[in-house]
Structure 1
Amino acid sequence: MPVTISRDVLFQYYRFSLYNSPFDAHDEGCAIDLYPDGERAPSPVAGEVVDTKTVQAPPKAYAAEHDHLILIDTGDTVARLLHVDPAVEPGETVAVGDDLGALVRAGFFAPWVPNHIHLGFRDPDANPYRASGSLPVDVAADVTPVFWDGTGTVVDGGETWARLDEPAHPAPGDSFVGIANDVGGDGSGVLDGGLPHYSGGGLLGDDNAGAAALAGQHVGTADGRTVAWDDVAVLANGEPITGIALFCGRERFGAKLVGEDIDLARGDEVRVTIERGAAGDDST
């Protein structure tokens, strides 16, 4: 039985993703990453704090040495929250929206990933310290598909990422949107995940599409809402990049291209193409 995140909870955040992560729990959409504005973490759940734990994170020059786990008993489940330095203690009761602490830039992140809350759920009688066996997560908010032809102009970016102005959000702030699954041009749900740099992705809003396509190219096979990516490579203006970060956004939007030392600057016109037969790197 999936745990459903309400629309009101989701609207605390400017972005969410069920599949855009290398963590095992995301492989089947059994966790959700929630992206708040600012440096603090508003709680997505209500309940009693059971425990907090500090763990060693992989060493990265851009990341903190430690990450943190917060366990909250919601009554029906135990929520597992990562990437937040806890300002709460065991025995405290929290409500949705309460401040849980400062967001942590963890060594588990790829360099292009913004700070966020990782949220998963376990049955009350399961070991809450383990991620494997987490419950499926669903969202109680419609996500509008926006079509993308693979082109756009760079409007924001850094050393490892670039965001294009297309596809644009039709009504920023009013709803969540995602890049449309371009199968038959009918917008069969929206694509979620790291294409192709994570082992799989998701298809939200249409469990019966059977296939995933982007910018006119078949990119994966869908089993329900989970997608196995094809053996493909992503190119920007003919140059290979790591891939495309696919997610659902409520405010600023546009295709996000990612890769080490990505050579794209603001104002650059970009055409993204997808070629078959060159698998992405699942290590990032």
Structure 2
Amino acid sequence: MDAALPATLLEQYARFSLYNSPYPAHDGGCAVDLYPGTLENGRTHVAPSPVTGTVLETETVRAPPKPYATDHDHLILLECVAPAPLAGLVARVLHVEPAVEAGDRVERGDSLGRLVRAGFFAPWVDNHLHVGFRRPDQHLHRASGSLALELGVDVQPLAWDGTGTVVATGETYAVLDSPPHPRPGEQFVGLRAEWRSSDRGDADGRVGDRTGTGGVGVLDGGLSHYDGGGIHTGGRSERVAESVVVLNDDRLGVVGPDGRTIGWDDVVVTANDEPITGLSTFCARDGDFGAKLICPDHALAVGDDVCVRVRPRQ
């Protein structure tokens, strides 16, 4: 890992994810999406700065055309002074219409401007800041090339049996009431998954016979509507490399050599035995946390009971 995300940075935000994105900038956990929704209502347009520093540059960039989003985005480059682990690096911030300009000094938590919904977003993604860090001698404008990120907070894995009741819906998603956050606002949580150094599964992808070592971690990423995801294991990455990742005995994929990036198997997520687009996983500290099903044009309604499974694609 090359850059640490300390607690003082992450705890400004309601949610974060290193992997829940289809864009190469997140490959290997080299960028973080920070969701600053308030703990009261989960939504805000304000973009609090993740760092203290000086604005080096702002730039407007093109974004893919989408009917629900703008066709442009903005890049803000910040020379970091604090938090200490990031001092001397340059922060790259996207998805914020800047209210700052080159030469401005900003403190951590100051507003950088207004969050924008750009064409880089999938329709089910909430507004957020995309942030990566680079050394000053690196190319600062290229989309990929940011340093790999290490979490400076512990994320509590929440056990989930795959069931729940729908408590919120949108055109492209449904949110379940489970697993509930045990202490909203006090710490980050995420969906618990197991990693196993080896396994033997049946034809349905169930992993019932395990061998070798194993442990638990927190899932991060879009299963499997994005190519891969990650697992946060609290600094045990050297033991997790090449392990199989399992959710409720359903095999999800294999961890790569870095000990946290997952390549999903060819699987499909189902809700009540019907295929859906996927399962969105992330780290959160807000009270609205619950399993988020990605299911455009779904027929789910508030109050529906749901059972989620992950099966090999036929």
Q: TM-score, length-normalised on structure 2?
A: 0.85
1:183 CA drift (Å): 4.2
Q: Deviations over 1:181-233 (max 9, x none)?
A: 13479761101000011111101024223221113201011120111111100
Match of 1:250 among 285, 292, 311: 285
Partner SS state of residue 188, structure 1: strand
Correspondence list, 1:169-188, <5 A:
169-183=181-195, 188=216
8 Å CA contact 1:147, 1:182 repeated in 2? no
Deviation at 1:64, TM superposition (A): 1.7
Distance in 2, matches of 1:216 and 1:156, equals 27
| Counterpart residue number, 1:20 | 20
Residue of structure 1 equivalent to 2:104: 92
* Pair 1:222-2:255 in alignment: yes
Cα offsets for 1:128-180 (capped at 9, x unmatched): 00122210111211100001111000111201001101111111111000101
- Contact 2:195–2:217, Cα closer than 8 Å, also in 1: no
From 70, 75, 78, give the equivalent of 2:76. 70
* Aligned AA (1:15): R
Task: Give me the whole-angstrom Cα distance separating, in 2, the residues matched to 1:133 and 1:53.
Answer: 18
Report the residue type matching 2:21 in the other structure: S
1:160 corresponds to 2:184: no
1:114-153 equivalence runs, <5 A: 114-153=126-165
Please say if residues 143 and 190 of structure 1, whose CA atoms lie closer than 8 Å, have aligned partners that are also in contact: yes
**SS at the partner of 2:127?**
coil
Q: Whose radius of gyration is greater, 1 or 2?
A: 2
Partner Cα distance (1:124, 1:32) in 2: 19
Equivalent residue for 2:204? none
Offset at residue 116 of structure 1 (A): 0.2
Q: Which runs of 5+ in 1 are unaligned?
A: 279-284
Q: Pick which of 102-111 and 66-75 moved more.
A: 66-75
% identical aligned pairs: 56
Residue type at the aligned position of 1:135: L
Contact 1:43 1:97 (8 Å CA) reproduced: yes
Query: What's the secondary structure of 1:25's corresponding residue?
Result: helix
Instruction: Give the Å deviation of 1:240.
Output: 1.0
- The answer for the alignment partner of 1:234 in structure 2 is 269
Q: Alignment partner of 1:233: what SS?
A: strand
Runs of 4+ in 1 over 2 A off after TM superposition: 182-187
- Match in the other structure for 1:281: none
Q: Distance in 2 between matches of 1:218 and 1:31?
A: 26
5+ long unaligned stretches in structure 2: 38-43, 81-86, 197-209
Matched residues in 1 for 2:304 and 2:150: separation? 37
Residue 53 (structure 2) aligns with: 47
Structure 2 match to 1:282: none
Deviation at 1:91, TM superposition (A): 0.7
Q: TM-score, normalised by structure 1?
A: 0.94
The C-alpha deviation readout for 1:240-264, integer Å capped at 9, x for no partner, is 1110001001012111000321221
Deviates more, 1:217-226 or 1:181-190: 181-190
Counterpart in 2 of 1:32?
Answer: 32
Tell me the CA shift for residue 47 of structure 1.
1.1
Mapped to 2, the partners of 1:142 and 1:211 lie a distance apart of 22
Aligned length: 278
Q: CA deviation at 1:39?
A: 0.7
